[in-house]
Amino acid sequence: MGKIIAIANQKGGVGKTTTSINLSAGLAYLGKKVLMVDFDPQGNASQGIGANKKKHDSTVYEVLLGDIKAKDAVVKLKIPPCAVIPANINLAGADLEMAEFKVGREKLLRNKLIEIKDDYDFIIIDCPPSLGLLNTNALTAADSVIIPVQCEYYALEGLTQLLSTIRLVQRLFNPALTIEGVLLTMFDARTKLSVEVQQEVRKYFKERVYKSYIPRNIKLSEAPSREQTIFEYEVRSEGAKAYASLAKEVINSSQKEAAKA
């Protein structure tokens, strides 16, 4: 059975979408069957992975609130060798529309993804930078969460609220939800601040922090404008090496979990 991982942090600019794109590609290039679900109304993950070059009739909005099955919204890519359910601005109104539902509004995405979960090794959900019903749906659908944390001042600001939301989802909708890991992003070993933030995050989250970290890297910043992952744009870059390392960690962790089951 496939594993659904939500990439979540309500704070913007922490590398959430960059991680969704490049972790999906990294897992795919390591031979895993991967689906990335763009669950952010901005649709940046769709564009950044190369799924936004043509208009798509079916997006995650139609899957969530329409009669479209998830499999019918999947866009298959050759480069990178993975699949995407794209998003667009229509998703922005979904929170208000879901608020009108009396029952089951938190489980809409889970009910759709469960139909295709076995078709993939990993389903990666790029969550929006907010803590509304969209994020609740993503966390309810997920098996685990990866939390990107930027190595900057106030890095841990807002995480208390996210962790509180995760605990609430665990209690009410998804008791099996776990924190897959905490990912340090935009790390610069030359600055005292980055080193101090890294130490603070590792002290707080302990073994949940990935050994891999994502460096501040100009190639990572440039790649989305070319609608390419870092592996197509500059595979020799430090950013590509970092996301390849992260993908291996995620696979190893999943294999260990499977062995225990």
- Please determine, for residue 192, whether its predicted confidence score (pLDDT) is greater than 80: yes
Give the pLDDT band of residue 59 (cuts 50, 70, 90).
very high
- Name the residue type at position 59: T
Going along the chain from its start, the domains and CATH numbers come out as 3-260 (3.40.50.300)
The reported pTM is 0.95
Q: What is the structure's pLDDT at 233?
A: 97
pLDDT digits (tens, 9 = 90+) for 129-140: 888 899 999 999
Instruction: Supply the mean pLDDT for the chain.
Output: 93
Percentage of residues in the chain having pLDDT higher than 70: 98
CA distances from 187 to 37, 89, 117, 164, 198 (A): 26, 31, 33, 26, 8
Give the pLDDT band of residue 188 (cuts 50, 70, 90).
confident
- Number of neighbouring beta carbons within 10 Å of residue 237: 19
Residues 6+ apart with CB under 8 A from 157: 11
Question: Checking phi first, is residue 154 left (phi over 0); if not, alpha (psi -120 to 50) or beta?
Answer: left
pLDDT digits (tens, 9 = 90+) for 212-241: 999 999 999 999 999 999 999 999 999 999
Asked, as a colleague might, if the bond just before 128 is cis with ω within 30 of 0, I would say no
pLDDT digits (tens, 9 = 90+) for 11-35: 888 899 999 999 999 999 999 999 9
- Give the span between the Cα atoms of 119 and 241, in whole angstroms: 28
Q: What is the structure's pLDDT at 67?
A: 82
pLDDT digits (tens, 9 = 90+) for 62-101: 999 988 999 999 999 999 999 999 999 999 999 889 988 8
pLDDT digits (tens, 9 = 90+) for 111-170: 999 999 999 999 999 999 888 899 999 999 999 999 999 988 777 777 888 899 999 999
Q: What is the structure's pLDDT at 176?
A: 97
- Please determine, for residue 257, whether its predicted confidence score (pLDDT) is greater than 90: no
